[in-house]
A = this chain, B = another copy of it.
Amino acid sequence: MSKGFLLVVSGPSGCGKGTICKELLRRNKDLIFSVSATTRKPRIGEVDGKNYFFIDKEKFDSMVARGEFLEYANVHNNSYGTPKKFVIDNIGKGEIVLLEIDVQGALQIKSVYPEAVFIFILPPSMEELKNRIIKRGTETKKDIDIRLKNALKELKFVDEYDYFVINDKVSDAVENIEAIITAERLKVKRHKNLLKKINIQEG
């Protein structure tokens, strides 16, 4: 049987990774979206186990203590984490688990789980990245400058990743990621008893 893998799609804010992952999931129904755990309260319409695993702070902290997260972080007083079990169980079944995450999170995952496949989404240019951050609206010039500075810092971590995909056109970026998925599935190392697959007896 073939082993699945964890596909980490990452990049700085404004690179468009959210849009890409949404389109990737729409086009590839067999991809499994990695559900994060969070201590934040569910918003209207959010479903436990689908959008997030909603857990309390005590449970979250005990999961951290037991090393049950591939990565975790605190944002605005709420905790978010990627449960290891969900990922490992699905990979064991031969599934491909898609995780959309910021650069800090991806680097955390790489340190504990380097066998994941890491894709860095690059903006087509710094100008375009700026435009995208501005388009999100409601932010002051100072906020925009901070975001841009952070993005520039984060872009330098591209060398830690396996693949890069330039997000010029979403459909092109998605097609490139689909090619990466196809190729990764064809890696010999992901298959045991490859010859049995084609009815050839080994030994």
- A residues lining the B interface (CB < 8 Å): 120, 122-127, 152, 155-156, 158-159, 161-166, 176, 178-180, 182-184, 186-188, 191, 194-195, 198-200, 202
Contacts and interface: CB of A to CB of B under 8 A. Distances in A.
27 contacts: A120-B188, A122-B194, A122-B198, A123-B198, A125-B198, A126-B198, A126-B199, A126-B200, A155-B195, A156-B202, A158-B195, A159-B188, A159-B194, A161-B188, A162-B187, A163-B183, A163-B187, A163-B188, A164-B188, A166-B198, A176-B182, A179-B179, A179-B182, A179-B183, A180-B182, A180-B183, A180-B186
A126 B127 CA distance: 56
Given A158-B188, A164-B188, 8 more contacts: A124-B198, A126-B199, A127-B199, A152-B200, A161-B188, A162-B187, A163-B186, A180-B182
Contact of A191 (B164, B165, B179, B199): B164
Contacts of A166: 198
Contacts of A162: 187-188
A179 B163 CA distance: 14
A188 B202 CA distance: 36
